[in-house]
Amino acid sequence: MLFDTHAHYDDDQFDTDRETLLASLPEHGVGLVLNPGCDLESSRKAVAYAETYPHVYAAVGIHPENIEGIELERDLPALEALAKSSHKVRAIGEIGLDYYWVKEPEQRRFQAEVFRAQMRLAGRLQLPVIIHDREAHLDSLTVVEQYPAVRGVFHCYSGSVEFAKRLLDLGYLLSFTGVITYKNAKKAVDVVRAVPLDRLMIETDSPYMAPVPYRGKRNSSLYVYRMAEAIAEIKEIPLEEVITQTTENGKRLFGI
Ligand code: NI
C-alpha cells in the first residue's frame, strides 16, 4: 500500500473530478494521502477532505508564499482552532521559507516570523511539521534547530547530502517528488542513495511536479508509485520493500 505524503487536492485543477479521484485511490493501491494546507482557506478544505475520506489525512498551515495579509494575532488562533477541530489533522504544514520567489529582506524576515510561530504551535500541539524550504537551506536549518522537540519532514527535498545529514541528526525525514525521476536530478539521486530507507518518504506534490513519463501533465496520487520505483532503482532494492517502508515511515511520523 502506497502513502502519498503530500498532495494539494484543493487546487482548482481537481475541480472536475476531485470526488471520484479521491474515492478511487485505495483501489489503485494508494491507501493513504496527506493533504497539507497553504493558507487558512486551503487548510479548511484539507480538513474537510480528511473528514470525508477515511484514507485522507490533513495538515494545516500557512505557506511562505502566502504570508501577504497574514496577521499572526488573528490568524494563528484560527489555525490552532482548525488543527484541534479534527483528529485527522496530523501535522502543521506546509510552513517554511521560500527565497526563490521572495527576494525582499523585509518579506523574508516576515516569512521567518510566520514560520517560527507555526513551529511553536506544532510544539504546543505535539504535531510534526511539513517544511517547504526553497533556496533557504541554512536559514531553515537555523529555525528548526531552535525547536529541538519538534519533528517533521523536509518535503520536496532539494538540498545536498551534507545538509541532509544535519537534518537526519535533528530527527527529520526527507520526502521526494517526481524530481527524482528526471534525467537532470543528479543531486537528489545522490541524496536518496545516501539517506537510510527508514528516513525517506514519497509524495507527488500534486497537481505539480508530475514524474516521468507524465511530466508536464496534471499530477495526482495515482502516480506516486513512480517515486517508489525510482528509489528502488537508485538504492538497488526490491520495490515492495520501498513501498512498505516509506508507508511505514509516514504512518510513524503522522501517528496513523
Ligand atoms: Ni506542497
Amino acid at 108: R
> What residues pack around ion ligand 1 (CB closer than 5 A)?
205
CA atoms within a 13 Å half-sphere pointing along the CA-CB vector of 46:
32
- Burial pattern 100-122, b for ≥16 Cβ within 10 A else e, equals eebeeeebbebbbebbbbbbebb
Contact 46, 37 (CB under 8 A): yes
CA of 108 to the centre of ligand 1 (A): 19
Query: Ligand 1 centre and the CA of 93: distance in Å?
Result: 9
pLDDT of residue 77: 98
Q: Name the residue type at position 106.
A: E
pLDDT digits (tens), the chain, 256 positions? 999 999 999 999 999 999 999 999 999 999 999 999 999 999 999 999 999 999 999 999 999 999 999 999 999 999 999 999 999 999 999 999 999 988 899 999 999 999 999 999 999 999 999 999 999 999 999 999 999 999 999 999 999 999 999 999 999 999 999 999 998 889 999 999 999 999 999 999 999 999 999 999 999 999 999 999 999 999 999 999 999 999 999 999 999 9
* Predicted local distance difference test score (pLDDT) of residue 101: 86
> How high is the pLDDT of residue 184?
87
Separation of CA 207 and ligand 1 centre (Å):
9
What is the number of structural domains in the chain? 1
CA of 242 to the centre of ligand 1 (A): 22
Please give the distance, rounded to the nearest whole angstrom, from the Cα atom of residue 169 to the centre of ligand 1: 24
95 Cα: distance to centroid of ligand 1 (angstroms): 9
Distance 6 CA to ligand 1 centre (A): 6
Residue 86 belongs to domain spanning: 2-254
C-alpha cell at 93: 504544514
CA–centroid distance, residue 36 to ligand 1 (Å): 7
Cα of 12 to ligand 1 centre, how many Å?
14
The rounded Å distance from CA 204 to ligand 1 centre is 9
CATH of the domain at 135: 3.20.20.140
78: left (phi over 0), alpha (psi -120 to 50) or beta: alpha
CA distances from 190 to 4, 15, 39, 110, 195 (A): 22, 37, 33, 33, 9
